[in-house]
Chains A and B, each alone.
Chain A
Amino acid sequence: EAGVTQFPSHSVIEKGQTVTLRCDPISGHDNLYWYRRVMGKEIKFLLHFVKESKQDESGMPNNRFLAERTGGTYSTLKVQPAELEDSGVYFCASSQGWGQSNTGELFFGEGSRLTVL
């Protein structure tokens, strides 16, 4: 079974440019999460999709960040325009629908490293 995959693994862009990160969750996982870790800080929650709906986007830093999950499959996270402080590693995670079968475990991708120059 394929795990959570993220693309690109590393992106280097200039301040003011746009970047779109993509996450493919494990097939059948309704829950999809975005987290990020900026340099020297802890990993922080950005938002949570249940299928195509945003369940919680309280961690999104500002309106330069836009996350979508059309059709409830893969998700994209767009940063437009990128700023220096957006540099960091963006992790995507997925989990099964919440119920008896869900153990609470999140399955993480390897992350997309974003460098804004």
Chain B
Amino acid sequence: SQQGEEDPQALSIQEGENATMNCSYKTSINNLQWYRQNSGRGLVHLILIRSNEREKHSGRLRVTLDTSKKSSSLLITASRAADTASYFCASQNAGGTSYGKLTFGQGTILTVHP
């Protein structure tokens, strides 16, 4: 499998439901970040979790990190139609000299139906 794999590749839910996206990575990391991309737009940073953290919250977002399994999950609670977008995890590998060098997953396309 590739560095930064995500599943599911596509997720379709109804407004109000929760959406969970998973991400796996291969190497040791300094941190893992989640970004959102609306169609045709740039990537927007959502949340960053450091390697010594296990869980982090930001509004309706909850991110977990399991470094023993090299995996992370992003939970969006009470989803809204405006949450429809592609979501990417991106890991910053440990030991590098370029702190903004991120390894991205393929992304999850989330569709929230009103």
Q: State whether B99 touches A98 (Cβ < 8 A).
A: yes
Bound complex: CA A79 to CA B52 (Å): 40
Pull 25 A–B residue pairs with CB atoms less than 8 Å apart, ordered by A: A33-B100, A41-B106, A42-B2, A42-B104, A42-B107, A43-B43, A43-B88, A43-B90, A43-B104, A44-B104, A55-B97, A56-B97, A91-B42, A93-B100, A103-B48, A104-B33, A104-B48, A104-B92, A106-B43, A107-B45, A108-B35, A108-B42, A108-B43, A110-B40, A111-B42
Bound complex: CA A109 to CA B40 (Å): 11
Bound complex: CA A59 to CA B101 (Å): 10
Query: Distance (Å) between the CB of A108 and the closest chain B CB?
Result: 4
Q: State whether A56 touches B92 (Cβ < 8 A).
A: no
CB within 8 Å for A106 and B102 given contacts A43-B88, A56-B97: yes
10 more CB-based (< 8 A) A-B contacts, given A42-B106, A98-B99: A33-B101, A43-B104, A56-B101, A102-B99, A104-B48, A104-B99, A105-B48, A106-B100, A106-B102, A108-B35
A65 at the interface (CB under 8 A from B): no
B103 at the interface (CB under 8 A from A): yes
Interface residues, chain A, with chain B CB atoms under 8 Å away: 3-4, 31, 33, 35, 41-45, 48, 55-56, 59, 91, 93, 95, 98, 102-111
Q: Which residue of A lies closest to B101 (CB)?
A: A45
Q: Which residue of B lies closest to A41 (CB)?
A: B106
How many residue-residue contacts, CB under 8 A, span A and B? 64
Q: Cβ of B35: which chain A residues have Cβ within 8 Å of it?
A: 108
Query: Distance (Å) between the CB of A36 and the closest chain B CB?
Result: 11
Bound complex: CA A91 to CA B102 (Å): 13
Bound complex: CA A41 to CA B4 (Å): 12
B41 at the interface (CB under 8 A from A): yes
Nearest 3 Cβ contacts at the A-B interface: A56-B98, A43-B104, A108-B42
